[in-house]
Structure 1
Amino acid sequence: MVNLRPALATCAAVLALLAAAPAQAARCGGDFNTFISSMSAEASQAGISQDVIAQALGGVSPDPAVLAFDRRQRGTFNKTFEQYVSTRVGAGRVRTGKAMMLRHASLLSRIEQRFGVPPQILVAIWGLESDFGKGDMGKLPVFRVLATMAHDCRRTELFQGELLAALKIVQRGDLPLRDMVGAYAGELGQTQFLPSSYIKYGVDFDGNGHVDLRHSVPDVLASTANLLKTNGWRAGGSYEEGTSNFEAMREWNRALVYRKTIAYFADQLAQ
């Protein structure tokens, strides 16, 4: 995790000057610190406290490795379905998935009753994204990742929005700053939600007052189901390619091969 503390006082002073000015969209490219100052002012006008902004963005620096990875990873889903599924859905993962379905049977049943998404779909996504919460959820500081991607001009509007959403997660108290670590596009938690999806679809299913997608299995699985339901999932329907439920998974991942892998894995778990 990047050490954010040394620059907190400086960042807070800049924010005090900027808070009264009308927020304008930060311009990508150019000086990185100027960009962060503009984003800080925008966050302040969006209701994020200066303390959260200072702690999250104070001293943040660009990460060239994030940009390099982003340029490389576009070929990830160029494999055939057979090639891709063979690396993601092995016998061991299927066995573990079935054990998880048994362990969380009551929880999954309650989620299905509320959202209409069957257990095997949720467990398949959970397994693919983080090996059921036991695998790699990413180790990169989310604010450094998102600031880097937002400053890059290729998709600046998208990632400026994600950066503001990440600040809202901390502002709401869903995750502390120390838990804002994730993958190369700022994905968070056991089913790898982008921060905007975290805000939009997150569900406090364990009833503790916070949406915790890193540690709370009820929140993780219910939020995943809520994303699918909100995007058109129909209870009791097929999820094979060509169905409306298969299309509902586009919000999860637009890559055809990935959605086919979810459906295949779910079929294995349902047997």
Structure 2
Amino acid sequence: MSPRLPALPAAMCIFALCLFATPAAAVQCGGDFNAFIANFSREAVGKGISQGVIAQGFAGITQDPKVMEFDRRQRGTFKKTFEEYAATRVGAARVNRAKQMMKKHAPLLSRVEQQFGVPKELVVAIWTMETDNGADMGKLPVIRTLATLAHDCRRTDLFQRELFAALQILQRQDLPQKEMIGAYAGEIGQTQFLPSSYIKYGVDFDGSGHVDLRRSVPDVLASTANLLKMNGWQRGQPFNMGTQNFEVMREWNRSEVYRRTLHYFAEQLKQ
């Protein structure tokens, strides 16, 4: 889950609410990348990240020019009309896949809906639209991606917070380094949480002792619902455009077109 970053594609999204999960940025952006990493490492250690985690996370790290190229291209992703956008995201094959997931995970989805109050159809719509239920979670090393974006001065505060949160995930041992793989803004897991949202909203729903948003379907679905619940979701109320719940969905993705598409997708799953 990303917060959703308004300049980034759908899966990227959860949020400029990264602000509250991690400390404010304190390292000067730009300049020599290795110097930036060294300075960031010192700040992170001072804020509780162990030297071992720092060494592990930043071992051999370099900038990723493809991440910056992608970031600069992602303007106007949601300039399509709702009809145009929904037609590309909610096809028959995807709806059928989502319905199969609802049948396969019916007891789990019922527990999630009961505990968090978010309709199972919406949770599955998010899960399917973001990664096709875990089939496409991205292939980029999260820490390298976030370090690249944090070094850039356009949104350094945002991405320094996300980089710190990614190190927290490592320190909590929720994911090993080899599993810290994601998309072009550092989103992780089957519903594409940015690291700060992973820390803030992640739920250990399978009782493993860790929040695993890559491999644990219970954790994925519960965490997705928890994000909406913690941002004011009203149980039993509609979530179409103009409702309070539709506004709560801004914490998933700020794009109105994207949220309308999620609502449309969820409605297809009720049929």
TM over 0.5: yes
Partner of 1:25: 26
Partner of 2:48: 47
Partner of 1:243: 243
Partner of 1:209: 209
Partner of 1:123: 124
* Pair 1:57–1:106, CA change in 2 (3 A): same
Alignment of 1:188-203 (within 5 A): 188-203=188-203
SS at match of 2:259: helix
Consecutive aligned runs of 4 or more in structure 1 exceeding 2 Å deviation? none
Amino acid at match of 1:57: F
RMSD of Structure 2 on Structure 1 (CA)? 1.1
Deviation of residue 58 (structure 1)?
2.4
Partner of 2:164: 164
Deviates more, 1:67-76 or 1:228-237: 67-76
Higher helix share goes to which structure? 1
Alignment of 1:171-190 (within 5 A): 171-190=171-190
Partner of 2:16: none
* Pair 1:24–1:210, CA change in 2 (3 A): closer
Question: In the alignment, is the contact (CA less than 8 A) between 2:25 and 2:161 conserved in 1?
Answer: no
Percent identity at matched positions? Answer: 69
Partner of 2:75: 74
Mind listing any 5+ residue stretches in structure 1 that lack a counterpart?
A: 1-22
Deviations 1:213-261 (A, max 9, x none): 0000000000000000011111100010010111111111101111011
Alignment of 1:229-240 (within 5 A): 229-240=229-240
Which has the larger Rg? 1
Question: In the alignment, is the contact (CA less than 8 A) between 1:150 and 1:157 conserved in 2?
Answer: yes
SS at match of 1:76: coil
Amino acid at match of 2:177: L
Question: In the alignment, is the contact (CA less than 8 A) between 1:97 and 1:127 conserved in 2?
Answer: yes
Deviation of residue 64 (structure 1)?
1.4
CA distance in 2, matches of 1:90, 1:180: 30
Question: In the alignment, is the contact (CA less than 8 A) between 1:149 and 1:159 conserved in 2?
Answer: yes
Mind listing any 5+ residue stretches in structure 2 that lack a counterpart?
A: 1-23
Partner of 1:10: none
Name which structure has the greater RCO, CA cutoff 8 Å, separation 6+.
Answer: 2
Please, what TM-score do these two structures have when normalized by structure 1? 0.90
Amino acid at match of 2:68: L
Deviation of residue 24 (structure 1)?
8.1
CA distance in 2, matches of 1:67, 1:265: 32
Deviation of residue 188 (structure 1)?
0.3
Q: How many residues are treated as equivalent by the alignment?
A: 248
Partner of 1:142: 142
Partner of 1:264: 264
CA distance in 2, matches of 1:235, 1:74: 34
Alignment of 1:76-115 (within 5 A): 76-115=77-116
